[in-house]
Structure 1
Amino acid sequence: MTQMVNKAAVARAFGRAAQSYNQHAQLQRLCGETLYSMARVTCDRQVLDAGCGPGWFSERWRSAGNRVTALDLSPEMLNKARESETADDYRLGDIEALPFADATFDVCWSNLAVQWCSDLRLALGEMRRVTRDGGQVLFSTLAAGSLGELTQAWQALDQPAPVNRFLSTAQIWEAGQRLGVRLVPQTLTLAFPDVAGALRSLKGIGATHLHQGRRDGLSRHRLTLLAQRWPRDERGFLLSYHLLYGVIDCE
């Protein structure tokens, strides 16, 4: 359940995507709306948005009548959220070492961010620590098998796909077991008009940092090879995400 993560490099990758993030964040919005539906109470609460990005769901929680603290590892993402006035407070920080006292929030929310943590057990423990009894920790993450189409297409280049390894469902459950986590699985498949569009969707949200190191760019010839192998249907070229929604009711 642990992995070596260069947090500075992750922050830089997301920082480069700060201006383009919202136009490519279809997955994040779909996933976040499902997670939001799992909240017991959605108004008059102190909410932490841990891994806020440009603040799409910070604003969602705030517009429902909550006081929201937006936290992100990337200064550029946090500045984007601040410029749009999406929250009441903005803090630069790491989910694995939250800069808050115990029992500060009623809701600790993290939409598609904890997969970038080094130790999921530590991250979930930190989110529970800062959440009051009677509150909720709500998170979503990617599980093993995500982006399978990308992995399949890359076989045409006779090299491993530039995809980070995601934890299995069993590993994610084990990380939150002592906290009483409940997990809800879902698979979402997005379609794109071409391979370049699929790859741009990943770059546009900053999901380009590879824990094992960067790869060389793609030539036109290599893109053609990928397109020949990339799974598609009548909608276009596919990218599938195996999602897990986690709910911890704090008692």
Structure 2
Amino acid sequence: MTHKINKQAVAQAFGRAADGYDRFANFQRDSGERLMALLPPAAAGRVLDAGCGTGWFSRRWRAQGHQVIALDLSPGMLAQARRDASAHHYLLGDIEALPLQSHSVDLSWSNLALQWCDDLAQGLRELCRVTRPGGQVLFSTLAEASLQEVRSAWQAVDDYQHVNRFLSESAIRQAGAGMALRLHCETVVQHFPDVLSALHSLKGIGATHIHQGRASGLLTRQRLHQLAQHWPQDEQGYLLSYQLITGVIDCE
């Protein structure tokens, strides 16, 4: 359930992507909408958006009348969220060591950020710690079958790692052991007209950072052609799939 992540490199990767992030973040918005659908209408309260990115969903929560705390590991992302007046408060911080008092929010929300934790169980414990009894933690993350098309295509080209390894569904479930956790797993598939568009979608959301170090080599025209030959596709185009995990924790 643990893997060492260079948090500074992650923050820098997302910071570089901040300006254009929302142009590419279709999957992130889709994931967030699926997460939103798990919550019944609730009275206005205090919401933590942990891993807020550009503040897209912070603004959604704020528009619904909630007091919103936007937190992110990346100064660049947090600056973008602030420029868009996404929240009431902005915090630079790590989900695994939240700079908040215990039981200080009504809802902790984290959309596609927990996969950047060294220790997922610690991240979940922190989200529960800052949430009041009777409140909830809602999160989404990625599991090991995500981006398998990218992985298989690159394996035919070179021996370097080009895609992060994500935890299995069972490991994610185990990270929530002892918590009142409800977990759901589904596969979400995107289609692109060509391989370069698919790769740009990953780079545009900062997802090109590799836990164990960057992949080697430039993306030459020849390599792009090789990738296209081995990249799975169907009648709608080149595939990019995500194994999406959504979870709800009832805090006691």
Q: Same fold (TM over 0.5)?
A: yes
Aligned-pair CA distance for 1:205: 0.4
Contact kept? 1:42, 1:64, Cα under 8 Å = no
Partner residue in 2 for 1:118 = 118
SS of 1:187 mapped into structure 2: strand
Aligned-pair CA distance for 1:197: 0.5
Following superposition of structure 1 onto structure 2, how do residues 122-201 of structure 1 map, counting pairs within 5 Å?
122-201=122-201
Aligned-pair CA distance for 1:72: 0.2
Change (3 A) 1:224 1:178: same
Tell me the distance in 2 between the aligned counterparts of 1:188 and 1:120: 22
Contact kept? 1:39, 1:136, Cα under 8 Å = no
Aligned-pair CA distance for 1:42: 4.0
Indicate the percent of aligned positions where both proteins have the same amino acid.
Answer: 58
SS of 1:40 mapped into structure 2: coil
Which segments of structure 1 move beyond 2 Å, counting only runs of 4 or more?
40-43
Tell me the distance in 1 between the aligned counterparts of 2:11 and 2:41: 31
Following superposition of structure 1 onto structure 2, how do residues 33-182 of structure 1 map, counting pairs within 5 Å?
33-182=33-182
SS of 2:29 mapped into structure 1: helix
Q: Say yes or no: does 1:239 pair with 2:246.
A: no
Aligned-pair CA distance for 1:250: 1.2
Change (3 A) 1:57 1:48: same
Partner residue in 2 for 1:5 = 5
Tell me the distance in 2 between the aligned counterparts of 1:41 and 1:116: 29
Tell me the distance in 1 between the aligned counterparts of 2:62 and 2:187: 28
Partner residue in 1 for 2:227 = 226
Tell me the distance in 1 between the aligned counterparts of 2:198 and 2:54: 21
Aligned-pair CA distance for 1:20: 0.9
SS of 2:156 mapped into structure 1: helix
Tell me the distance in 1 between the aligned counterparts of 2:151 and 2:140: 22
Contact kept? 1:53, 1:77, Cα under 8 Å = yes
Change (3 A) 1:43 1:237: farther
Aligned-pair CA distance for 1:133: 0.6
Tell me the distance in 1 between the aligned counterparts of 2:73 and 2:212: 20
CA RMSD of aligned residues (A): 0.9
Tell me the distance in 2 between the aligned counterparts of 1:143 and 1:212: 17
Contact kept? 1:142, 1:166, Cα under 8 Å = yes
TM-score computed with the length of structure 2 as normaliser: 0.98
Tell me the distance in 2 between the aligned counterparts of 1:40 and 1:235: 35
Deviations 1:38-70 (A, max 9, x none): 123444010000000000000011111101000
Aligned-pair CA distance for 1:235: 1.4
Aligned-pair CA distance for 1:221: 0.1
Contact kept? 1:93, 1:99, Cα under 8 Å = yes
Tell me the distance in 2 between the aligned counterparts of 1:40 and 1:170: 27
Deviations 1:104-138 (A, max 9, x none): 00000000000000000000000000000110000
Tell me the distance in 2 between the aligned counterparts of 1:97 and 1:40: 29
Partner residue in 2 for 1:210 = 210
Tell me the distance in 1 between the aligned counterparts of 2:4 and 2:101: 27
Contact kept? 1:109, 1:138, Cα under 8 Å = yes
